[in-house]
Amino acid sequence: MSSQLSVTPLHTWHKEHGARMAEFAGYDMPIQYTSIVAEHQATRQAAGVFDISHMGRLRFDGGRADQLLDHLLTRRVVDMQTGQVRYSLVCNEEAGILDDVLVSCLESPSGKNYFLLVVNASNRAKIVRWLQPHLADYPDVEFHDVTDSTAMIAVQGPKALEICKPLLPTSALSLGYYRAKVTEQMSKPCIVSRTGYTGEDGLELIVKAEDANRVWENIMLAGRNLGVQAVGLAARDTLRLEAGMPLYGHELDESIDLYQAGLGFACNLKDRTFIGSEVLALKSKAELKTKRIGLVLEGRRAARQGADVLDSDGRVVGQVTSGSFSPTMDKPIAMAFVDAAAANPEIALDVDIRGTKVSASIVSLPFYKRTESI
Amino acid sequence: MSISPEQLRYLESHEWAYVSDQAAGVVTIGISAFAVEQLTDLVFMALPKVGQEVSAGAEFGEVESVKAVSPMYSPVSGTVVEVNSGLVDRLESLNVDPYNDGWIMKVKMSDSSDLAGLLDWVSYKHQCDHA
């Protein structure tokens, strides 16, 4: 293992519990503890616990923090209420996607509002650099990268809230979807957010780095009779793929605009300007040339990133961006970008899997949608 | 007769070979328990065809897990004389016994000296223990 790799506060726990570790975005991360399918199914049927401390956590304090972020994000920030969370994109001037983020408007225990931006681990350094000139324009905004001083744990699945019940105050457990709150776990500060990246209901917790192991152990203990399972990054990827959620570096990058990615909902153009808004305003009216689609493949072989998508004449009409065997559907699935004309379920498509043509059908995303509890 | 891992010869890439018919120069080939454990969640295996030529150290098929695709390399050169064609439908048997029920193909060797270049169990196990 390379000595330059960063580790999360839970690194020792992972190693002591038999995790296979590998580098991801500069971190030595748990890929799987048991089997990917077992961890995937545990999350779909009971609950999975994920160390996502590698994700970047950026805090903005001060009166005009909302205006600064409103200038940087495709989603409107200035009208956010305390406790709201929004999915947004960060674009460059050409509307290329720099990152996809969650922005939360939180109230500190002292009663002050602040904003928290959760960014992809792989983009954290880029986003922090991108922020610098804008921070200079808003000298009253205090910026802190709190990634290293905190840890982030996701509890996801139909039993996630039940497991967290003995651990968190009622006010945190009763949060609505895409709501967040600064609260406490055993008298220690904890941000609870009703968000996730698995297609399941659940919570994401941010705690101080020194409290991470205690919180993690508490969750594992509280869930031991409810089927809780530590889940690595491999199953996190199959879960998010089934949920049709984009992953930066696969469905998103600087060459893709948010309309192609099917993320028009995450862009508010009306009565505001932000970085990239001029180009996005034009793109919002133009016809899409390429579209993000979901594919279900015949057979058992998965198409991986970069595999060509072909029409019935064998013409390349696009590429797979993410593909895996789906444990829930027991079939190979993929997301792909294809020419708009080919993004038609009536059209027969093939995927070229290392030289072999495999039939694929277009299905609407997401592949998997949980049944809502009442 | 049951084959045990101690009797086999290995490639560093985790394929095993066993001389199953000395007179005919036929070698049975599969992948090791270590490889199966590392791959986990096997979903597919692309097998060679009977009559196909394989070369020592060259890819003859691939095994796919939920996470990734891995090529399988032939320990010897020769002609495929038999394939365990039912294996694809019961890949889980590789978790139980990759050395008997989980064999992949039988190859009639064109050059039996290929065997000399393979690792014995002690060397192979040492490699796995220090992976």
Q: CATH no. for residue A215?
A: 3.30.1360.120
pLDDT in tens, A86-140: 999 999 999 999 999 999 999 999 999 999 999 999 999 999 999 999 999 999 9
Inter-chain CB proximity A325 and B64 less than 8 Å: yes
Distance from CA of B52 to the nearest CA of A (A): 18
B89 touches chain A (CB under 8 A): no
Contact with chain B for residue A299, Cβ under 8 A: yes
Whether the Cβ atoms of residue B75 and residue B108 lie closer than 8 Å to each other = no
Whether residues A162 and A232 share a domain: the answer is yes
pLDDT at position B67, please? 86
Contact partners, residue A18, CB within 8 Å, separation at least 6: A33, A34
Q: B5-112: what CATH class?
A: mainly beta
Output the pLDDT for position A3. 61
Strand partners, A182: A191
Contact A36 B65 (CB under 8 A): yes
> What is the rounded CA–CA span in Å between residue A118 and residue A87?
10
Collect the ranges in chain B with pLDDT lower than 70.
1
* Residue A19 in domain: yes
Is residue A317 assigned to a domain?
Answer: yes
Q: Is A320 helix (H, G, I), strand (E, B) or coil?
A: strand
A135 and A170 fall within a common domain = no
Is the CA virtual torsion A218, A224, A228, A229 positive or negative?
Answer: positive
Laid out side by side, the sheet with A202-208 consists of A180-185, A188-193, A202-208, A150-156, A47-51, A228-230
Residue B49 · residue B83 · CB < 8 Å = yes
Distance (Å, rounded) from C-alpha A258 to C-alpha A247? 13
**Helix, strand, coil content of chain A in percent (nearest 5):** 25, 35, 40
Q: Do A36 and B67 touch (CB under 8 A)?
A: yes
> The domain that contains A323 carries what CATH number?
2.40.30.110
**CA-CA-CA-CA torsion for A235, A241, A247, A253, nearest 10 degrees?**
140
State whether A155 and A114 are in the same domain: no
Whether A261 maps to a domain, the answer reads no
Q: How far apart are CA A166 and CA A161, in angstroms?
A: 10
Inside any domain, residue A98? yes
The DSSP annotation for A101-145 comes to EEEEEEE-TTS-EEEEEEE-GGGHHHHHHHHHHHHHH-TT-EEEE
> What's the gap between Cα B98 and its chain centre?
9
Residues of chain A with pLDDT under 70: 1-3, 373-374
**Cβ atoms within 10 Å, residue B115:** 16
- The answer to whether the CB of A32 falls within 8 A of the CB of A20 is yes
Report how far residue A27's alpha carbon sits from residue A14's, in angstroms, rounded to the nearest whole number: 13
HSE, CB side, 13 Å, CA atoms: give it for residue B50.
Answer: 5
pLDDT, position B2: 87
The separation between CA A74 and the C-alpha centre of its own chain, rounded to angstroms, equals 16
- Where in chain B are the domains? 5-112
Task: State the Cα–Cα distance between residues A143 and A52, nearest whole angstrom.
Answer: 22
CATH label of the domain that carries residue A81: 3.30.70.1400
Kindly state whether residues A63 and A198 are assigned to the same domain.
no
Torsions phi, psi of A279, nearest 5?
-65, -40
* DSSP β-ladder status, B69-73 and B26-31: unpaired
CA distance, residue B43 to nearest chain A CA (Å): 6
Predicted local confidence at residue A87, as pLDDT: 98
Q: Please check whether residue A351 touches B, CB under 8 A.
A: no
A271: in domain? no
Burial of A294: CB neighbours in 10 Å, binned 0-12, 13-18, 19+: buried
Q: Residues A48, A155: one domain?
A: yes
Say yes or no: A300 and A322 in one domain. Answer: yes
Single out the residue in A210, A225, A242 at which a domain terminates. A242
Place of tokens 């696009």: A318
Which residues, 6+ apart, have CB-to-CB distance to A285 below 8 Å?
Answer: none
CB-count exposure of residue A346 (10 Å: 0-12, 13-18, 19+):
exposed
> Does residue A47 share a domain with residue A63?
no
**pLDDT of B1:** 63
Q: Report the number of distinct structural domains present in chain A.
A: 3
- Domain end call among A213, A242, A271: A242
A282 falls within a domain:
no
Element holding A13 (H helix, E strand): helix A11-16
Question: CB contact, 8 Å: A362 with chain B?
Answer: no
Q: Give the per-residue pLDDT at A4.
A: 87
- ipTM of predicted assembly, 2 dp: 0.84
Whether residues A217 and A153 fall in one domain = yes
Mapped onto helix, strand or coil, the DSSP state of residue A67 is helix
State the smallest CA–CA distance between residue B28 and chain A in angstroms. 25
Residues A137 and A81 in one domain: yes
Identify whether residues A303 and A337 lie together within a single domain. Answer: yes
pLDDT at A371: 84
* Dihedral (Cα; B25, B29, B33, B35), 10-degree rounding: 130
A158 with A18, same domain: the answer is: yes
Cβ distance B66 to A304 less than 8 Å, yes or no, reads no
Which domain does A299 fall in, by range?
Answer: 289-363
Residues A304, A311: contact at Cβ < 8 Å?
no
The contacts found for A245-250 with CB under 8 angstroms, 24 or more apart, are A245/A197, A245/A199, A245/A366, A246/A100, A246/A292, A246/A335, A247/A322, A248/A97, A248/A99, A248/A100, A248/A120, A248/A122, A248/A123, A249/A122, A250/A305, A250/A321, A250/A322, A250/A335
Tokens representing A327? Answer: 């444990």
Spatial separation of the C-alpha atoms in residues A80 and B54, rounded to whole Å: 64
Place of tokens 């991470």: A212
Residue B40's pLDDT is 87
Shortest Cα distance from A88 to chain B (angstroms)?
29
